[in-house]
Structure formats: C-alpha cells, structure tokens
Amino acid sequence: MDAIELLKHDHRMVEQLFRDYHAAASETQRRGVIELTIRELSKHAALEEMMVYPMAKKLLPDGAPRIDEHLSEHMAVKKLLHALDKLPAGDDRESDLMDQLRREVEEHVREEEGELMPELRARLSQQDLDELGRLLDQAKRSAPTRPHPNAPDHPPALTVLGPVAAAYDRLRDRLQGRPST
C-alpha cells in the first residue's frame, strides 16, 4: 500500500473498532476493544507526527498552520485516549469518552481524507508515496502503543523520544497482558 492507502486503512480499522465497541456483548469485550483502539490510534498518530506531518508542512503552501491544526486535533485525541487508558474496566465514564473520541476522530479523518491526503497525492510521485507507505508500515511495528499527551509532537524531539516511549509502552503492554497488533 502507498502511504495514503495505508493511512486510510488505519482510519477504516478505527471506525470498525468504534462499531465493535457498541456491538460488544460484555464489559470484558468492550475493554478489549478500548485497548485496541488506544493502541491503534496511538501508533497512527505517532507515525503521522513523525513522518507525514513534517513532510506536509514543507510541501504544502500553507503547510505550517494546517499541520499545527492537525497536531491540535491529535492532542485532543491523545487526551481522550489517556483518560480511557487510565479508566478501570466498566467505569461509568467509558461510554461518554468513547463517544467523544469517535466524534474527534471522525472530524479529523474527514479533514485528512477530504483535503490533506488529496493534496499530498497531487504533490508526491507514486514512487514517493509507495516508499513512504513502506516506511510507515515498517515504523508501525515500533511506534508507541499508548498516548503520550505531554510528549513533544514535532521532530526532532519526537523522533528521539518516540522509540523510547514505544519500548516502554510495549513493556507495559506485556506486563498488563494487553493485546498486541
């Protein structure tokens, strides 16, 4: 998959996780879906922040303010993910937080797929998109699996701290018996 296809695939996967949350038959199933949602959105956001947004900032004529807006949206998502991550299973706030998260993600996806991605596709060659897709897919295996709302969201600090956060996240995931994807 090229970079745009890969990012859109992530979006579809998260949309399915929101449907799975509402279809879950038990508290245990819902918590499992929440943990997968936290993991997938955390990885996706980190990859966009490390690899896609810096490039878009340079390529697009009004890249800096637009990417700053996307980063602001990521921060709102990370804060919701962090709140969900800290909740015990079955907490009364869980459903409201998932609904807020779904709304934030839906708006962000609309903007990315409606504006940002078509502009990137128009400005990058297919070869560049394919290579970026390969790099994103490779980086996904070592991206942070939990939200880090207080971490930097711009390179170079993000590039340095991202792998450290990812290693720590994966250790915590193993210790807590969280699903791995």
SS (H, E, C) the chain: CCHHHHHHHHHHHHHHHHHHHHHCCCHHHHHHHHHHHHHHHHHHHHHHHHHHHHHHHHHCCCHHHHHHHHHHHHHHHHHHHHHHHHCCCCCCCHHHHHHHHHHHHHHHHHHHHHHHHHHHHHHCCHHHHHHHHHHHHHHHCCCCCCCCCCCCCCCCHHHHHHHHHHHHHHHHHHHCCCCCC
Q: What is the pLDDT of residue 17?
A: 98
Question: Is 180 a domain residue?
Answer: no
Domain that holds residue 70: 3-175
User: What per-residue confidence (pLDDT) applies to 168?
Assistant: 47
> For the domain that residue 47 is a member of, what is the CATH number?
1.20.120
In a domain, 72, yes or no: yes
* pLDDT, tens digit only, all 181 positions of the chain: 999 999 999 999 999 999 999 999 999 999 999 999 999 999 999 999 989 999 999 999 999 999 999 999 999 999 999 999 999 888 999 999 999 999 999 999 999 999 999 999 999 999 999 999 999 999 898 888 888 776 655 555 455 455 545 554 555 556 567 666 5
Residue 62 falls inside a structural domain: yes
Examine residue 181 and state whether it is found in any structural domain, yes or no. Answer: no
Residues with Cβ within 8 Å of residue 127, at least 6 apart in sequence:
none
